[in-house]
Amino acid sequence: MSLAVDRLVLRQLLLAGIEDAVEFGKELRCYAIQRDGRVVAHFTDGSRAEGDVLVAADGVNSVVRHQYLSHARIVDTGVRQLYGAVPLTDRTRNLFDEDMFGVFTVITGPEGTYLGVAPVQFPVPPQRAGAMAGLALLPVSDYMTCSFGARREWFADSADTLRAMNGAQLHAIMTAATGDWHPRVREIVANCVPDSLFALPLRTCVPIDPWPTTSVTLLGDAIHAMSPAAGSGACTALRDAARLTAALTDAAADDDPITALRAYETAMIDYGFAAVRAGAINGQRHLGQDPLP
Ligand SMILES: Cc1cc2nc3c(=O)[nH]c(=O)nc-3n(C[C@H](O)[C@H](O)[C@H](O)COP(=O)(O)OP(=O)(O)OC[C@H]3O[C@@H](n4cnc5c(N)ncnc54)[C@H](O)[C@@H]3O)c2cc1C
Enumerate the domain spans of the chain: 13-73+206-286, 78-203
Q: Which CATH number fits domain 78-203: 1.20.200.10, 3.30.9.30, 1.10.10.10, 3.40.50.150?
A: 3.30.9.30
Do residues 145 and 83 touch, judged by C-beta distance below 8 A? yes
Binding pocket residue ranges, ligand 1, CB within 6 Å: 27-28, 57-59, 63, 83, 200, 220-222, 228, 231-235, 237
Q: Which of 45, 47, 58, 238 gets mutated to test ligand 1 (max ligand atoms within 8 A of its CB)? A: 58
Kindly state the DSSP code that residue 48 receives in the 8-state scheme.
E
At the topology level, CATH places domain 13-73+206-286 in FAD/NAD(P)-binding domain (3.50.50)
Which pairs from 118-121 meet CB under 8 Å and 24+ separation? 118/4, 118/144, 118/145, 119/4, 119/88, 119/143, 119/144, 119/145, 120/4, 120/5, 120/6, 120/144, 120/145, 121/4, 121/88
Strands 216-218 and 54-56: parallel
The candidate with the shortest Cα–Cα distance to 28, out of 41, 15, 13, is: 41
Q: For residue 251, name the pLDDT band (cuts at 50, 70, 90).
A: confident
**Whether the Cβ atoms of residue 40 and residue 34 lie closer than 8 Å to each other:** yes
Model confidence over 115-166: pLDDT tens digits?
999 999 999 999 999 999 999 999 999 999 999 999 999 999 999 999 999 9
Look up the pTM and report it.
0.95
- Distance separating alpha carbons of residues 212 and 78, to the nearest angstrom: 32
Contact 268, 218 (CB under 8 A): no
Per-residue model confidence as pLDDT tens digits over 212-239: 999 999 999 999 999 999 889 999 999 9
Backbone angles phi, psi at 240, to 5 degrees: -60, -50
